[in-house]
């Protein structure tokens, strides 16, 4: 809880102090109003009281009433600002923390992945709930406290016992909420399944298959199954939440009755106006209702603290295994690569994705990497890009060990088209130049690239239906990803299945253009149409390099590459034979 308050306070300290002050005032005004009611009733019975004193008391009573009405919109105003600033603070802190990470390891650790999903989902509303809850709790505490003070002036012991009557309910509510959180956590597997299936049934990329295979009912039944599990467990929990506070309620009521009894005893022996007696009862009822609020909000806060625990651990734990170095590579010189005995297995997996890989690439060389699915091609690329830490073998770039390089500087000199490239629903130009795109300036470089990849829209065209823009075909998105890579003046080009959705003509042309670049090129590909144009071909299987040589030398060898070539060009070879 302290942690949560600390983080929320750090998000906008000045406004929070202002909010606390306003809420404090808001909490005190009703007690002032009640107190003034008592004063007015009491003074009415004093014969020598002047009209002026009565008018002052009534004026204060009226002002306090006006205060009660005015405070609410003021609290809403400041509270609204605080919640928005605070929500932005948490979301941007999480985004910044993500940016601090160099690698992809976050997503391979099961616990971290779940934590990220949790934070992603909850960051949008948990700080907001917490602030509202804690403000209401604070206000209820101030209101109850100030009413208690009013009551103490009539009977200290009676007031104390009335206040104590809230304790059984506070304890019981907190216990119930803790149990609720545990159950919710146990439910989270079903909750994740529900969210996933719901997401799939609304996701455009699944829609064709859902229609074609008639998956709608199947998804519905999967959703219902998880929803039913959740319902069964949570319903039991809700029934328990309804029944289990009854003993605490009875006990609270008994303690309260004792307090009232003491009050009555005290009031019977003192000279008190009937009106003041009514006021005391009204104060007890109001205090009781605020004490109940404290019990509810206090219990709700225990649910929310899980978000802040998780946030704290995400923000402070050592989660990045890749260490940055300070080595800088010279500009405008194609990189060479030297990979020695490199082995790697993903977190949580015993089998090796890479197993003793050796590979030398000279500056400016064009190398194609081939291999069956799952043979380790993409993993090798990811390791070259420093997306994972490794501790078996080594990789050097232009003579400098990878782990000694400044990662940002190194990556700035590399252009890549990933197998899973980004489809940014920004403008066409932004998709190419990303952070360097200036909407006001039309860059001739971007226009030239759009022509180079034969892209049909101009650079200011907005993309993405949800932003009122156009939708692209898969191949058009891929052309944009290629243009994005070509925009960088890189010393190493890495392409992982970059042409899978291109039409043959565009593929042929872009392949040739890329191969004519004065830079080192490494291309993972399954398409062998242009393979002859590469200086060298590397074939991988089971995480190992099994063949490495020129096109002609590998054909002569009659190994895996020979089989691949024949499998792809069987009919052409047969015709020409
Ligand atoms: N993030 C990951 N976590 C765990 N295992 C992974 C991960 N990514 C890949 N693997 C495993 O590593 C092995 C190599 O995968 P990789 O993606 O490098 O193959 P690939 O040769 O690029 O395959 P493809 O031709 O299908 O793209 C596979 O067994 C795969 O299951």
Position 332 scores a pLDDT of: 84
Atom of ligand 1 nearest to the CA of 379: 18
Class of the domain covering 337-420+491-576: alpha beta
Name every residue whose Cβ is closer than 8 Å to that of residue 338 and which is 6 or more positions away in sequence: 359, 360, 361, 395, 396, 399
Reported as a pLDDT band with limits 50, 70 and 90, residue 359 is: very high
Reported as a pLDDT band with limits 50, 70 and 90, residue 428 is: very high
Q: What is the sign of the dihedral through the CA atoms of 537, 543, 545 and 546?
A: negative
Ligand 1 centroid to residue 381 C-alpha, Å: 11
Ligand 1 centroid to residue 512 C-alpha, Å: 28
Average pLDDT over residues 309-324: 84
Average pLDDT over residues 455-481: 87
The whole-angstrom distance between residue 18's C-alpha and the CA centroid of its chain comes to: 29
- Which DSSP letter does residue 369 get? E
Q: Which of 142-151, 179-188, 248-257, 518-527 has the lowest mean pLDDT?
A: 179-188
Ligand 1 centroid to residue 107 C-alpha, Å: 14
Instruction: State the average pLDDT for the chain.
Output: 85
Which residue's CA is the closest to the ligand 1 atom numbered 29? 374
Measured CA to CA, the distance from residue 63 to residue 385 in angstroms comes to: 69
Choose which residue among 373, 374, 384, 538 to substitute to test ligand 1 binding: the one with the highest number of ligand atoms within 8 A of its C-beta: 374
Which residue's CA is the closest to the ligand 1 atom numbered 20? 374
Position 181 scores a pLDDT of: 67
Ligand 1 centroid to residue 374 C-alpha, Å: 5
Residue 195 confidence (pLDDT) above 80:
yes
**Coil, strand or helix at 529:** coil
Domain map of the chain by residue range? 1-154+298-319, 337-420+491-576
Q: Which of 86-90, 169-173, 221-225, 531-535 has the lowest mean pLDDT?
A: 169-173
Position 207 scores a pLDDT of: 85
Average pLDDT over residues 105-117: 80
Position 440 scores a pLDDT of: 64
Position 483 scores a pLDDT of: 92
Percent of the chain with pLDDT over 90: 27
Using an 8 Å Cβ cutoff, are 163 and 291 in contact? Answer: yes
**Coil, strand or helix at 498:** coil
ipTM score for this prediction? 0.98
**Coil, strand or helix at 422:** coil
Q: Report pLDDT digits (tens) over 246-286.
A: 888 888 888 888 888 887 777 677 665 566 677 777 788 88
Measured CA to CA, the distance from residue 433 to residue 535 in angstroms comes to: 30
Position 221 scores a pLDDT of: 93
Position 573 scores a pLDDT of: 62
Which residue's CA is the closest to the ligand 1 atom numbered 27? 373
Position 441 scores a pLDDT of: 64
């Amino acid at each position: 809880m302290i942690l949560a308050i600390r983080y929320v306070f750090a998000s906008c300290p000045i406004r929070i102090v202002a909010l606390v002050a306003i809420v404090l005032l808001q909490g005190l005004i009703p007690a002032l109003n009640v107190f003034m009611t008592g004063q007015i009733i009491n003074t009415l019975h004093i014969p020598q009281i002047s009209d002026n004193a009565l008018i002052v008391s009534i004026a204060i009573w009226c002002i306090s009433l006006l205060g009660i009405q005015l405070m609410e919109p003021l609290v809403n105003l400041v509270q609204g600002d605080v919640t928005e600033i605070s929500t932005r603070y948490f979301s941007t802190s999480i985004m910044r923390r993500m940016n601090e990470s160099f690698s992809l390891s976050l997503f391979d650790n099961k616990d971290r992945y779940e934590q990220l999903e949790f934070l992603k989902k909850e960051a949008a509303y948990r700080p907001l709930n917490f602030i509202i809850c804690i403000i209401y709790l604070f206000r209820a505490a101030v209101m109850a406290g100030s009413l208690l003070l009013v009551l103490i002036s009539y009977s200290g012991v009676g007031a104390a016992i009335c206040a104590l009557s809230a304790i059984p309910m506070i304890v019981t509510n907190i216990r119930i909420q803790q149990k609720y959180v545990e159950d919710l956590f146990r439910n989270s597997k079903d909750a994740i399944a529900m969210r996933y299936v719901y997401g799939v049934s609304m996701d455009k990329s699944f829609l064709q298959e859902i229609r074609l295979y008639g998956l709608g009912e199947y998804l519905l039944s999967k959703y219902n199954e998880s929803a039913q599990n959740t319902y069964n467990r949570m319903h039991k929990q809700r029934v328990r939440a309804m029944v289990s506070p009854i003993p605490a309620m009875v006990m609270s009521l008994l303690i309260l009755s004792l307090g009232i009894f003491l009050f009555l005893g005290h009031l019977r022996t003192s000279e008190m106006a009937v009106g003041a007696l009514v006021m005391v009862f009204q104060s007890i009822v109001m205090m009781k209702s605020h004490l109940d609020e404290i019990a509810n909000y206090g219990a709700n806060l225990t649910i929310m603290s899980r978000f802040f625990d998780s946030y704290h651990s995400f923000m402070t734990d050592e989660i990045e295994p890749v260490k940055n170095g300070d080595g800088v590579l010279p500009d405008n010189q194609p990189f060479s690569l030297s990979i020695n005995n490199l082995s790697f297995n993903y977190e949580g997996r015993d089998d090796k994705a890479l197993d003793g890989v050796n590979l030398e690439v000279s500056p400016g060389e064009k190398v194609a990497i081939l291999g069956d699915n799952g043979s380790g091609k993409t993993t090798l690329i990811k390791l070259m890009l420093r997306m994972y830490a490794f501790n078996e073998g080594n990789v050097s770039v232009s003579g400098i060990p990878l782990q000694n390089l400044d990662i940002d500087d190194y990556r700035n000199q590399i252009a890549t088209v990933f197998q899973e490239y980004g489809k940014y629903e920004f403008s066409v130009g932004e998709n190419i130049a990303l952070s360097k795109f200036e909407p006001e300036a039309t860059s001739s470089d971007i226009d030239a690239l759009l022509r180079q990849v034969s892209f049909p829209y101009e650079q200011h065209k907005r993309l993405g239906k949800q932003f009122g823009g156009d939708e692209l075909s898969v191949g058009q998105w891929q052309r944009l990803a290629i243009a994005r890579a070509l925009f960088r003046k890189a010393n190493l080009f890495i392409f992982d299945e970059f042409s899978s959705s291109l039409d043959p003509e565009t593929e042929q042309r872009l392949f040739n253009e890329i191969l004519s670049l004065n830079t080192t090129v490494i291309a993972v590909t399954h398409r062998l149409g242009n393979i002859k144009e590469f200086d060298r071909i590397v074939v991988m299987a089971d995480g190992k390099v099994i063949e490495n040589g020129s096109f002609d030398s590998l054909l002569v060898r009659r190994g895996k590459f020979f089989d691949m070539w024949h499998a792809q060009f069987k009919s052409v070879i047969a015709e020409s034979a």
